[in-house]
Amino acid sequence: MREQLVELIRNALPLLEGAGDPEALAAFPVLVSIPKNAQFGDYATNVALGLAKVLKRSPLHIAQDLAGRLPANLTWLERVEVAKPGFINFFLKDQAFHGTLLQIILRGEAYGRMDWGTGRKVQVEFVSANPTGPLHIGHGRGAALGGALAALLHATGHTVETEYYLNDMGTQMETLGRSIQARALEISGREITFPQNGYRGDYISDIAREILQENPEALQEDLAFFSRRGQEKILQGIREDLAAFGIGFDHWFSETSLYTRGLVDALIERLRGSEIFYESEGALWFKSSAYGDEKDRVVVRSNGAKTYFASDMAYHLEKFGRGFDQVIDIWGADHHGYVPRLKAALKSLELDPEKLTVVLVQLVNLLREGQPVAMSTRAGEFVTLRAVIDEVGKDAARYTFLTRRSDSPLDFDLEVAKKQSLENPVFYVQYAHARVQSVLRVAAGQELEASPLSFNSLHLLALPEERELCKTLTEYPEVVSAAAQALEPHRLTSYLGELAGLFHHYYNHNRFIGDDTELSLARLLLARAVGIVIKNALNLLGVDAPEKM
């Protein structure tokens, strides 16, 4: 709808008085927005205000001129008005919105899918938690965000690959092994001194116990054994938690593989002789300060150990080598200082840093009845993602994680997420969908079906609330588009809240099924369209749309 208006305006621009160079006008951005105030119409444009300088005429005059040159007699346009400073306001006929109801029902699941991203290959890398412990609630937020972004990009036509980068190297794997080994010894009744900096969570003892049960002779094994078995078990747990959360990955990328494939060494060899690397105090440094980082970084320590930074450079070089047009990394906000460094690295490797987008995710504050739930990783006491899923369910968790923009801290109240009442945003939306289905079931029992065949009845939808609902449904594809473009899935939860609100309000004041069969059919069509849009949107967020609750 909005696009049609843009088209209309664009076509009229060259006809303007004193339009001059048609190419300059063609490049002029035409913005059509939805006014907050209904008295300014369904849509409005401010082109005349912008053109005032270009054309050196008063905006009001331009607006009047332009409005006069728009085609009359359009079936979907009621009237066009020019307002004060130079806005042009468009008032649409009801039937303009009725058309979308039909479109929604005909397209079904495909309504809201677009193809503007076709041909663009995008990778979304997220979660990527170290395999040293179970996923915690912060990872859950990253997972929900990554899953939704992947779905949004897919819905807009992109070719999307999801990836989990596994930091399975180095001292932390060794620490994991030592921790498990120590617990295994402890369980067997030995006196131990628990390793300093070891992982102290209860899950370590659980794993040690499992290993001993599977193999009573395990104590004979070396450290590498405990590291390997520990990692396997933790990874299995992570996969299971993600599966319970509805998240799967196309690729699991192992940091170790970068070394076995010689990619890290190749990277270092490639850059060793170049100006951006230098040796100092026995270590190899990357001159990242030359690329906007605040200081230079060590790549190879004096003892020969390669740093994480070396791995990350090699990893991103490898990623870009796979031909992605855009690479999206989702990180915890505490890593934000790492962004300029990595971008500097890409630049030095002659890769376009613009192709890397790092989305930072802020902390989650877990609450119960408004009171903070203690969360300390230091002592190994943290709230796991699994615990949250078990308590409030996958749907409530995923939805709640996506109710705020990712760079804003999130308060997650377990009690609210569990509530079966309308103050729980997830319930509010799912309930709207269940209500739609309930109405449709009752209608079906009376031989009433909301089929496209009842299109002729749609003109009976003349109430302001019905118009508002239809208009909101029309906006859905634009919301998907904007959310995908801005990488902000929370726009969908906002939209869903609004749509569900309108529907509940309408439901509370109007009957879908009444004596007037024609009217009933039209309203059922509306209900069905609302149901489809809610389901499609929830689907993008990884949340189920229940038939009954």
Residues within the interface to RNA (CB under 7 A): 29, 31, 33-37, 39-41, 44, 46, 49-50, 52, 59, 83-85, 87, 89, 294-295, 333-334, 336-337, 403-405, 407-411, 420-423, 425, 427, 431, 434-435, 438-439, 442, 478, 482, 486, 488, 490-491, 494, 497, 501, 504-505, 507-513, 548-549
Q: Which is nearer to RNA, 29 or 304 (CB)?
A: 29
Task: Indicate the residue among 241 and 488 with the shorter CB distance to RNA.
Answer: 488
Q: In a 3-state reduction of DSSP, which class is residue 434?
A: helix
Nearer to RNA, 251 or 335 (CB): 335
CB of 511 to RNA, least distance (A): 4
Pick the closer one to RNA by CB: 231 or 424: 424
Q: Provide the token pair at 203.
A: 């899950």
Strand duo 410-413 + 364-368: pairing: parallel
Nearest distance from C-beta of residue 71 to RNA, angstroms: 20
Residue 225 Cβ vs RNA, minimum distance, rounded to whole Å: 32
| Beta carbon nearer to RNA, 36 or 378 | 36
How far apart, in whole angstroms, are the C-alpha atoms of residue 133 and residue 335? 19
Give the nearer residue to RNA in terms of CB position, either 187 or 360: 360
C-alpha triplet 353, 354, 358: angle, nearest 5°: 85
Concatenating the DSSP letter of every residue in 180-247 gives HHHHHHHHTT----PPTT---SHHHHHHHHHHHHH-TTGGGS-HHHHHHHHHHHHHHHHHHHHHHTT-
To RNA, the closest distance from the beta carbon of 319 in angstroms equals 23
Cβ nearer to RNA, comparing 61 with 405: 405
> In which order are the strands placed within the sheet that holds 87-92?
32-33, 43-45, 87-92, 77-83
Min. distance of Cβ 344 from RNA in angstroms?
13
Closest C-alpha among 464, 451, 468 to residue 524: 451
CA 309 to centroid of chain Cα atoms? 27
**DSSP assignment, residue 350?**
T
CB of residue 171 to RNA, shortest distance in Å: 16
3-state secondary structure 102-167: HHHHHHHHHCCCCCCCCCCEEEEECCCCCCCCCCEHHHHHHHHHHHHHHHHHHHCCCEEEEEEEEC
Compare residues 90 and 277 and give the one whose CB is closer to RNA: 90
DSSP 322-344: TT-SEEEEEEEGGGTTHHHHHHH
Q: Would you say 231 or 474 has its CB closer to RNA?
A: 474
We find the least distance from the C-beta atom of residue 334 to RNA, in angstroms, to be 4
Q: Which of 356/439 has CB closer to RNA?
A: 439
364-368 and 277-280 strand pairing: unpaired
Question: Which pairs from 414-417 meet CB under 8 Å and 24+ separation?
Answer: 414/366, 414/367, 414/368, 414/373, 414/388, 415/367, 415/368, 415/369, 417/392
- Over its C-alpha atoms, the chain yields an Rg (Å, rounded) of 29
User: Whose Cβ is closer to RNA: residue 51's or residue 180's?
Assistant: 51
Give the three-state DSSP class for 348.
helix
d(CA 161, CA 177): 32
The span from the CA of 155 to the CA of 477, in Å, is 10
Q: From the CB of 498, what's the least distance to RNA, in Å?
A: 7
Q: Which amino acid is at 117?
A: G
Please state the closest distance from residue 522 (CB atom) to RNA, in A: 13
Quote the least distance from Cβ 92 to RNA, whole Å: 14
Q: What is the nearest approach in angstroms of RNA to the Cβ of residue 513?
A: 4
Closest approach, Cβ 419 to RNA, in A, equals 9
DSSP output for 83-105: ETTTEEEEEE-HHHHHHHHHHHH
**Which amino acid type is present at position 258?**
L
Q: Which stretches does DSSP call E strand in 364-466?
A: 364-368, 371-372, 410-413
